[in-house]
Structure 1
Amino acid sequence: MKVEVRWRPVRYARLEIKPDGRVVVTAPKGFDVEAFLRKHRRWLWNRLAELEEVRRESSRGFPLFGEFYGVKLENGGEVEIRGKTLILPVKREKARESLKALLKERLMPLIALYSTLLGVSPGRIYIRNQRKKWASCSSRGNLSFNLRLVALPESLIQYIVIHELAHLRYLDHSPEFWSLVKRFYPDYRNARKELRRWWGIIEVNEKWLWLEGRE
Protein backbone atom coordinates (compact mmCIF):
# COMPACT_ATOMS: atom_id res chain seq x y z
CA MET A 1 0.00 0.00 0.00
CA LYS A 2 1.53 3.29 -1.14
CA VAL A 3 0.96 6.13 1.30
CA GLU A 4 1.60 9.78 0.49
CA VAL A 5 1.54 12.26 3.38
CA ARG A 6 0.80 15.90 2.67
CA TRP A 7 1.58 18.22 5.55
CA ARG A 8 -0.81 21.16 5.44
CA PRO A 9 -2.07 23.83 7.89
CA VAL A 10 -5.40 22.01 8.31
CA ARG A 11 -7.43 21.48 11.47
CA TYR A 12 -8.35 17.85 10.85
CA ALA A 13 -6.60 15.02 9.02
CA ARG A 14 -8.15 13.74 5.80
CA LEU A 15 -7.78 10.34 4.16
CA GLU A 16 -8.23 9.73 0.41
CA ILE A 17 -7.66 6.87 -2.00
CA LYS A 18 -6.72 7.97 -5.50
CA PRO A 19 -7.79 6.04 -8.63
CA ASP A 20 -4.24 4.73 -9.08
CA GLY A 21 -4.39 3.13 -5.61
CA ARG A 22 -2.32 5.73 -3.74
CA VAL A 23 -3.43 6.43 -0.18
CA VAL A 24 -3.13 10.16 0.53
CA VAL A 25 -3.18 11.56 4.06
CA THR A 26 -3.50 15.32 4.44
CA ALA A 27 -2.64 16.33 8.00
CA PRO A 28 -1.16 19.08 10.18
CA LYS A 29 2.51 18.81 11.15
CA GLY A 30 3.16 16.55 14.10
CA PHE A 31 0.07 14.43 13.45
CA ASP A 32 0.41 10.68 14.18
CA VAL A 33 -0.18 9.30 10.68
CA GLU A 34 0.59 5.67 11.63
CA ALA A 35 -2.08 5.64 14.33
CA PHE A 36 -4.52 7.32 11.94
CA LEU A 37 -3.95 4.61 9.33
CA ARG A 38 -4.36 1.84 11.91
CA LYS A 39 -7.65 3.35 13.06
CA HIS A 40 -9.02 3.37 9.50
CA ARG A 41 -7.40 0.11 8.41
CA ARG A 42 -10.65 -1.77 7.78
CA TRP A 43 -12.11 1.10 5.74
CA LEU A 44 -8.88 1.33 3.75
CA TRP A 45 -8.78 -2.35 2.82
CA ASN A 46 -12.47 -2.33 1.87
CA ARG A 47 -11.99 0.70 -0.37
CA LEU A 48 -8.85 -0.77 -1.96
CA ALA A 49 -10.77 -3.99 -2.67
CA GLU A 50 -13.55 -1.94 -4.30
CA LEU A 51 -10.94 -0.11 -6.38
CA GLU A 52 -9.48 -3.40 -7.58
CA GLU A 53 -12.97 -4.53 -8.66
CA VAL A 54 -13.44 -1.24 -10.53
CA ARG A 55 -10.12 -1.81 -12.30
CA ARG A 56 -11.19 -5.28 -13.39
CA GLU A 57 -14.47 -3.94 -14.74
CA SER A 58 -12.75 -1.06 -16.50
CA SER A 59 -10.40 -3.49 -18.27
CA ARG A 60 -13.40 -4.96 -20.13
CA GLY A 61 -13.14 -2.16 -22.71
CA PHE A 62 -14.44 1.30 -23.51
CA PRO A 63 -17.79 1.98 -21.78
CA LEU A 64 -20.51 3.43 -24.02
CA PHE A 65 -24.06 3.75 -22.67
CA GLY A 66 -23.38 1.02 -20.12
CA GLU A 67 -21.85 -1.51 -22.53
CA PHE A 68 -18.16 -2.30 -22.98
CA TYR A 69 -16.44 -2.38 -26.37
CA GLY A 70 -13.05 -3.05 -27.79
CA VAL A 71 -11.64 0.06 -29.44
CA LYS A 72 -10.07 0.64 -32.82
CA LEU A 73 -8.80 4.05 -33.93
CA GLU A 74 -9.38 4.96 -37.58
CA ASN A 75 -9.24 8.03 -39.76
CA GLY A 76 -12.67 9.60 -39.97
CA GLY A 77 -14.92 11.95 -38.09
CA GLU A 78 -17.60 9.79 -36.47
CA VAL A 79 -17.92 7.08 -33.87
CA GLU A 80 -19.11 3.75 -35.26
CA ILE A 81 -20.07 0.46 -33.63
CA ARG A 82 -19.08 -2.74 -35.46
CA GLY A 83 -20.29 -5.68 -33.42
CA LYS A 84 -18.43 -5.44 -30.11
CA THR A 85 -15.82 -3.02 -31.47
CA LEU A 86 -16.11 0.74 -31.16
CA ILE A 87 -14.46 2.71 -33.96
CA LEU A 88 -13.15 6.06 -32.74
CA PRO A 89 -11.59 8.82 -34.85
CA VAL A 90 -7.85 8.74 -34.47
CA LYS A 91 -7.84 12.49 -33.78
CA ARG A 92 -8.78 12.98 -30.14
CA GLU A 93 -10.79 16.16 -30.66
CA LYS A 94 -12.84 14.54 -33.43
CA ALA A 95 -13.52 11.57 -31.14
CA ARG A 96 -14.74 13.92 -28.41
CA GLU A 97 -17.00 15.86 -30.75
CA SER A 98 -18.52 12.68 -32.18
CA LEU A 99 -19.19 11.30 -28.70
CA LYS A 100 -20.75 14.63 -27.71
CA ALA A 101 -23.12 14.32 -30.65
CA LEU A 102 -24.12 10.80 -29.54
CA LEU A 103 -24.69 11.99 -25.99
CA LYS A 104 -26.74 14.96 -27.15
CA GLU A 105 -29.09 12.60 -29.01
CA ARG A 106 -29.79 10.82 -25.71
CA LEU A 107 -29.90 13.92 -23.52
CA MET A 108 -32.21 16.26 -25.38
CA PRO A 109 -35.35 14.04 -25.38
CA LEU A 110 -34.86 13.37 -21.66
CA ILE A 111 -34.43 17.08 -20.93
CA ALA A 112 -37.55 17.92 -22.94
CA LEU A 113 -39.61 15.22 -21.20
CA TYR A 114 -38.60 15.97 -17.63
CA SER A 115 -38.65 19.75 -18.08
CA THR A 116 -42.35 19.36 -18.86
CA LEU A 117 -42.98 16.95 -15.99
CA LEU A 118 -41.14 19.12 -13.45
CA GLY A 119 -42.60 22.34 -14.85
CA VAL A 120 -39.22 24.02 -15.43
CA SER A 121 -37.55 25.78 -18.35
CA PRO A 122 -33.77 25.29 -18.58
CA GLY A 123 -31.59 27.88 -20.27
CA ARG A 124 -28.64 26.87 -22.42
CA ILE A 125 -27.52 23.24 -22.56
CA TYR A 126 -23.80 22.48 -22.71
CA ILE A 127 -21.78 19.27 -23.00
CA ARG A 128 -18.30 19.80 -21.66
CA ASN A 129 -15.12 17.89 -20.85
CA GLN A 130 -15.40 18.30 -17.08
CA ARG A 131 -13.08 16.61 -14.59
CA LYS A 132 -14.95 16.80 -11.29
CA LYS A 133 -18.72 16.73 -11.79
CA TRP A 134 -21.23 14.76 -13.80
CA ALA A 135 -23.27 17.91 -14.39
CA SER A 136 -24.07 21.33 -12.97
CA CYS A 137 -26.80 23.95 -12.97
CA SER A 138 -25.96 27.67 -12.96
CA SER A 139 -27.92 30.39 -11.19
CA ARG A 140 -29.11 31.48 -14.65
CA GLY A 141 -30.65 28.08 -15.31
CA ASN A 142 -28.01 26.89 -17.76
CA LEU A 143 -27.17 23.18 -17.56
CA SER A 144 -23.73 21.70 -18.20
CA PHE A 145 -23.33 17.97 -18.71
CA ASN A 146 -20.08 16.07 -18.59
CA LEU A 147 -19.04 14.17 -21.71
CA ARG A 148 -18.44 11.24 -19.33
CA LEU A 149 -22.20 10.68 -19.29
CA VAL A 150 -21.78 8.93 -22.64
CA ALA A 151 -20.29 5.99 -20.71
CA LEU A 152 -23.35 5.52 -18.49
CA PRO A 153 -26.42 3.31 -18.78
CA GLU A 154 -29.44 5.37 -19.84
CA SER A 155 -31.11 4.96 -16.43
CA LEU A 156 -28.23 6.87 -14.79
CA ILE A 157 -28.30 9.55 -17.49
CA GLN A 158 -32.00 9.88 -16.72
CA TYR A 159 -31.23 10.37 -13.01
CA ILE A 160 -28.65 13.07 -13.71
CA VAL A 161 -31.10 14.94 -15.97
CA ILE A 162 -33.79 14.83 -13.27
CA HIS A 163 -31.27 15.91 -10.62
CA GLU A 164 -30.11 18.96 -12.57
CA LEU A 165 -33.61 20.00 -13.64
CA ALA A 166 -34.73 19.76 -10.01
CA HIS A 167 -32.07 22.39 -9.25
CA LEU A 168 -34.12 24.81 -11.33
CA ARG A 169 -36.66 24.59 -8.51
CA TYR A 170 -34.22 24.25 -5.61
CA LEU A 171 -30.62 25.35 -6.06
CA ASP A 172 -29.55 23.57 -2.86
CA HIS A 173 -29.74 19.95 -1.72
CA SER A 174 -32.51 20.58 0.78
CA PRO A 175 -35.08 17.96 1.85
CA GLU A 176 -37.48 19.61 -0.60
CA PHE A 177 -34.98 19.09 -3.41
CA TRP A 178 -34.55 15.38 -2.66
CA SER A 179 -38.29 14.94 -2.27
CA LEU A 180 -38.76 16.33 -5.78
CA VAL A 181 -36.03 14.08 -7.20
CA LYS A 182 -37.61 11.06 -5.48
CA ARG A 183 -40.97 11.73 -7.14
CA PHE A 184 -39.42 11.16 -10.55
CA TYR A 185 -36.57 8.81 -9.64
CA PRO A 186 -37.45 6.81 -6.50
CA ASP A 187 -34.20 4.81 -6.48
CA TYR A 188 -31.98 7.90 -6.44
CA ARG A 189 -29.86 6.68 -3.51
CA ASN A 190 -28.74 3.60 -5.41
CA ALA A 191 -28.16 5.74 -8.52
CA ARG A 192 -25.73 7.89 -6.55
CA LYS A 193 -23.77 4.79 -5.47
CA GLU A 194 -23.70 3.52 -9.04
CA LEU A 195 -22.44 6.88 -10.27
CA ARG A 196 -19.48 6.70 -7.88
CA ARG A 197 -18.64 3.26 -9.28
CA TRP A 198 -18.88 4.44 -12.89
CA TRP A 199 -16.73 7.49 -12.12
CA GLY A 200 -14.04 5.13 -10.86
CA ILE A 201 -14.33 2.96 -13.99
CA ILE A 202 -13.80 6.01 -16.22
CA GLU A 203 -10.94 7.37 -14.10
CA VAL A 204 -8.81 4.27 -14.69
CA ASN A 205 -10.02 3.32 -18.17
CA GLU A 206 -7.15 3.30 -20.69
CA LYS A 207 -9.12 4.80 -23.60
CA TRP A 208 -10.75 7.45 -21.42
CA LEU A 209 -7.26 8.42 -20.28
CA TRP A 210 -6.43 8.95 -23.96
CA LEU A 211 -9.72 10.71 -24.74
CA GLU A 212 -9.27 13.21 -21.90
CA GLY A 213 -5.56 13.71 -22.51
CA ARG A 214 -4.57 12.13 -19.17
CA GLU A 215 -2.29 9.40 -20.54
Structure 2
Amino acid sequence: MASPSKYLAHYSEGLRAQVQGLIDDGRLGEVLARRYPEGHEIQSNAALYEFAMGIKRAKMSQSKPLSKVRYCDKISTLNHALGLHTYATRVQGAKLKTKHELRVASVFKQGPLAFLEMIVVHELAHLRERDHDKAFYRLCEHMLPEYHQVEFDMRMWLTWRELEGKPVRERKAKKAKKPKPE
Protein backbone atom coordinates (compact mmCIF):
# COMPACT_ATOMS: atom_id res chain seq x y z
CA MET A 1 0.00 0.00 0.00
CA ALA A 2 1.30 3.45 -0.83
CA SER A 3 1.70 5.92 2.00
CA PRO A 4 -1.18 8.38 2.35
CA SER A 5 1.28 11.24 2.54
CA LYS A 6 4.90 12.25 2.64
CA TYR A 7 4.32 13.29 6.25
CA LEU A 8 3.62 9.70 7.33
CA ALA A 9 6.17 7.85 5.19
CA HIS A 10 8.37 6.64 8.06
CA TYR A 11 5.50 5.19 10.12
CA SER A 12 4.53 1.51 10.05
CA GLU A 13 2.39 0.01 7.31
CA GLY A 14 -0.39 -0.65 9.83
CA LEU A 15 -0.61 2.97 10.96
CA ARG A 16 -0.55 4.22 7.38
CA ALA A 17 -3.34 1.77 6.52
CA GLN A 18 -5.46 3.11 9.39
CA VAL A 19 -4.91 6.69 8.22
CA GLN A 20 -5.71 5.67 4.65
CA GLY A 21 -8.96 4.13 5.90
CA LEU A 22 -9.90 7.42 7.56
CA ILE A 23 -9.04 9.28 4.35
CA ASP A 24 -11.08 6.89 2.21
CA ASP A 25 -14.07 7.25 4.56
CA GLY A 26 -13.69 11.05 4.55
CA ARG A 27 -13.35 11.05 8.35
CA LEU A 28 -9.75 12.20 8.92
CA GLY A 29 -10.67 15.85 9.50
CA GLU A 30 -13.57 14.88 11.76
CA VAL A 31 -11.36 12.64 13.94
CA LEU A 32 -8.71 15.35 14.28
CA ALA A 33 -11.31 18.05 15.07
CA ARG A 34 -12.74 15.87 17.83
CA ARG A 35 -9.28 15.27 19.31
CA TYR A 36 -8.06 18.88 18.95
CA PRO A 37 -11.11 21.19 19.00
CA GLU A 38 -9.30 24.33 20.16
CA GLY A 39 -7.38 26.77 18.01
CA HIS A 40 -5.14 29.50 19.35
CA GLU A 41 -4.65 33.25 19.27
CA ILE A 42 -0.87 33.19 18.75
CA GLN A 43 -0.83 34.97 15.39
CA SER A 44 2.00 37.49 15.67
CA ASN A 45 5.74 36.99 16.02
CA ALA A 46 5.65 38.81 19.36
CA ALA A 47 2.97 36.44 20.70
CA LEU A 48 4.94 33.44 19.40
CA TYR A 49 8.08 34.73 21.13
CA GLU A 50 6.20 35.07 24.44
CA PHE A 51 4.71 31.59 24.03
CA ALA A 52 8.13 30.01 23.34
CA MET A 53 9.77 31.93 26.19
CA GLY A 54 7.05 30.73 28.58
CA ILE A 55 7.80 27.11 27.69
CA LYS A 56 11.53 27.77 27.90
CA ARG A 57 11.25 29.42 31.35
CA ALA A 58 9.11 26.57 32.66
CA LYS A 59 11.04 23.61 31.23
CA MET A 60 14.53 24.78 30.17
CA SER A 61 15.42 27.78 32.33
CA GLN A 62 19.14 26.97 32.32
CA SER A 63 19.46 26.66 28.53
CA LYS A 64 20.96 29.16 26.10
CA PRO A 65 19.07 32.42 25.54
CA LEU A 66 16.87 33.01 22.48
CA SER A 67 17.17 36.19 20.47
CA LYS A 68 14.26 35.63 18.04
CA VAL A 69 11.22 33.42 17.60
CA ARG A 70 9.11 34.01 14.52
CA TYR A 71 6.74 32.53 11.97
CA CYS A 72 8.19 31.91 8.52
CA ASP A 73 6.21 31.52 5.28
CA LYS A 74 9.03 29.86 3.34
CA ILE A 75 10.24 27.31 5.86
CA SER A 76 8.45 24.19 4.60
CA THR A 77 9.17 24.76 0.92
CA LEU A 78 12.83 25.75 1.27
CA ASN A 79 13.97 23.42 4.04
CA HIS A 80 11.41 20.59 3.93
CA ALA A 81 10.89 21.27 7.65
CA LEU A 82 8.18 22.55 9.97
CA GLY A 83 10.47 24.49 12.25
CA LEU A 84 14.12 25.55 12.35
CA HIS A 85 16.63 26.31 15.05
CA THR A 86 19.44 28.48 13.74
CA TYR A 87 22.34 30.13 15.44
CA ALA A 88 25.05 32.58 14.47
CA THR A 89 28.33 33.04 16.31
CA ARG A 90 30.06 36.39 16.10
CA VAL A 91 33.30 37.70 17.54
CA GLN A 92 32.81 40.63 19.90
CA GLY A 93 36.19 41.74 21.20
CA ALA A 94 37.82 38.78 22.89
CA LYS A 95 34.53 36.87 23.26
CA LEU A 96 32.33 34.79 20.99
CA LYS A 97 28.63 35.65 21.14
CA THR A 98 26.03 33.20 19.84
CA LYS A 99 22.48 34.19 18.97
CA HIS A 100 19.83 31.48 18.72
CA GLU A 101 16.68 31.83 16.63
CA LEU A 102 13.61 29.64 16.24
CA ARG A 103 11.44 29.73 13.15
CA VAL A 104 8.07 28.03 12.90
CA ALA A 105 6.19 27.33 9.67
CA SER A 106 3.30 29.77 9.22
CA VAL A 107 0.87 26.91 8.63
CA PHE A 108 0.74 26.51 12.43
CA LYS A 109 -1.04 29.85 12.79
CA GLN A 110 -4.22 27.98 11.76
CA GLY A 111 -3.62 24.72 13.60
CA PRO A 112 -4.48 23.55 17.10
CA LEU A 113 -2.42 24.88 20.00
CA ALA A 114 -1.05 21.40 20.74
CA PHE A 115 0.65 21.27 17.32
CA LEU A 116 2.23 24.68 17.73
CA GLU A 117 3.43 23.68 21.20
CA MET A 118 4.93 20.45 19.83
CA ILE A 119 6.89 22.34 17.15
CA VAL A 120 8.16 24.91 19.67
CA VAL A 121 9.17 22.14 22.11
CA HIS A 122 11.00 20.35 19.29
CA GLU A 123 12.95 23.46 18.32
CA LEU A 124 13.69 24.39 21.95
CA ALA A 125 15.11 20.91 22.50
CA HIS A 126 17.69 21.74 19.83
CA LEU A 127 19.16 24.34 22.20
CA ARG A 128 20.57 21.41 24.22
CA GLU A 129 20.65 18.52 21.76
CA ARG A 130 21.58 19.11 18.13
CA ASP A 131 20.90 15.63 16.78
CA HIS A 132 17.64 13.72 16.71
CA ASP A 133 18.86 11.01 19.07
CA LYS A 134 17.50 9.34 22.21
CA ALA A 135 18.58 12.23 24.45
CA PHE A 136 16.79 14.69 22.15
CA TYR A 137 13.50 12.80 22.23
CA ARG A 138 13.77 12.24 26.01
CA LEU A 139 14.03 16.01 26.39
CA CYS A 140 11.02 16.52 24.10
CA GLU A 141 9.03 13.99 26.20
CA HIS A 142 10.10 15.81 29.38
CA MET A 143 8.80 19.13 28.07
CA LEU A 144 5.65 17.66 26.46
CA PRO A 145 4.77 14.22 27.91
CA GLU A 146 2.54 13.21 24.96
CA TYR A 147 5.09 14.52 22.41
CA HIS A 148 5.11 11.46 20.09
CA GLN A 149 1.31 11.21 19.90
CA VAL A 150 0.96 14.92 19.18
CA GLU A 151 3.65 14.66 16.49
CA PHE A 152 1.80 11.78 14.79
CA ASP A 153 -1.51 13.66 15.00
CA MET A 154 0.15 16.79 13.60
CA ARG A 155 1.41 14.75 10.65
CA MET A 156 -2.12 13.42 10.07
CA TRP A 157 -3.39 17.03 10.24
CA LEU A 158 -0.84 18.11 7.61
CA THR A 159 -1.92 15.18 5.44
CA TRP A 160 -5.58 16.19 5.84
CA ARG A 161 -4.76 19.82 4.96
CA GLU A 162 -2.94 18.65 1.85
CA LEU A 163 -5.94 16.59 0.77
CA GLU A 164 -8.57 19.10 1.97
CA GLY A 165 -8.82 21.02 -1.29
CA LYS A 166 -9.66 17.93 -3.33
CA PRO A 167 -13.08 16.29 -3.22
CA VAL A 168 -13.05 12.67 -1.99
CA ARG A 169 -14.56 11.42 -5.28
CA GLU A 170 -11.66 12.92 -7.24
CA ARG A 171 -9.08 11.19 -5.01
CA LYS A 172 -10.83 7.82 -5.33
CA ALA A 173 -11.22 8.26 -9.09
CA LYS A 174 -7.50 8.88 -9.50
CA LYS A 175 -6.74 5.81 -7.41
CA ALA A 176 -9.08 3.52 -9.38
CA LYS A 177 -8.00 4.82 -12.81
CA LYS A 178 -5.86 2.31 -14.73
CA PRO A 179 -3.97 2.95 -17.94
CA LYS A 180 -5.64 1.58 -21.07
CA PRO A 181 -3.62 -0.84 -23.18
CA GLU A 182 -3.02 0.30 -26.74
> TM-score, normalising length from structure 1?
0.51
Q: 1:104 aligns with which of 45, 56, 80?
A: 45
**Counterpart residue number, 1:163:** 122
Alignment of 1:103-142 (within 5 A): 103-104=44-45, 106-117=47-58, 118=60, 119-129=63-73, 130-131=76-77, 132-140=80-88, 141-142=100-101
The 8 Å contact of residues 51 and 200 in structure 1, kept in 2 or not, is answered as no
Deviation at 1:125, TM superposition (A): 2.6
Unaligned runs of 5+ in 2: 7-12, 31-35, 89-99, 167-182
Give the root-mean-square deviation of aligned CA atoms.
3.5
Unaligned runs of 5+ in 1: 2-14, 20-39, 60-64, 69-98, 208-215
Q: 2:111 aligns with which of 128, 149, 152?
A: 152
Structure with the bigger RCO (C-alpha within 8 Å, sep 6+) is 2
Give the Cα–Cα distance (whole angstroms) in 2 for the partners of residues 148 and 138 of structure 1. Answer: 19
The 8 Å contact of residues 125 and 143 in structure 1, kept in 2 or not, is answered as yes
3-state SS of paired residue (1:137): strand
**Counterpart residue number, 2:21:** 49
3-state SS of paired residue (1:123): strand
The 8 Å contact of residues 124 and 142 in structure 1, kept in 2 or not, is answered as yes
The 8 Å contact of residues 103 and 147 in structure 1, kept in 2 or not, is answered as no
The structure where helix makes up a greater share of residues is 2
Give the Cα–Cα distance (whole angstroms) in 2 for the partners of residues 206 and 105 of structure 1. Answer: 31
Alignment of 1:60-79 (within 5 A): 66=37
> Counterpart of 1:203 in structure 2: which amino acid?
E
Size of the aligned set, in residue pairs, is 138
Q: Structure 1 residues 45, 174: closer, same or farther in 2, change over 3 A?
A: closer
3-state SS of paired residue (1:138): strand
Q: Structure 1 residues 66, 151: closer, same or farther in 2, change over 3 A?
A: farther
Q: Structure 1 residues 157, 44: closer, same or farther in 2, change over 3 A?
A: closer
The 8 Å contact of residues 140 and 147 in structure 2, kept in 1 or not, is answered as yes
Give the Cα–Cα distance (whole angstroms) in 2 for the partners of residues 115 and 148 of structure 1. Answer: 22
Residue 186 (str. 1) matches residue 145 (str. 2): yes
Q: 1:143 aligns with which of 84, 102, 110?
A: 102
The structure where strand makes up a greater share of residues is 1
Deviation at 1:127, TM superposition (A): 1.5
Deviation at 1:158, TM superposition (A): 1.5
Q: Which contiguous aligned blocks of 4+ residues in structure 1 show a shift greater than 3 angstroms?
A: 15-19, 42-47, 55-59, 65-68, 103-106
> Counterpart of 1:124 in structure 2: which amino acid?
K
The 8 Å contact of residues 56 and 124 in structure 2, kept in 1 or not, is answered as yes
Deviation at 1:16, TM superposition (A): 4.0
> TM-score, normalising length from structure 2?
0.59
Deviation at 1:67, TM superposition (A): 5.3
The 8 Å contact of residues 115 and 122 in structure 1, kept in 2 or not, is answered as no
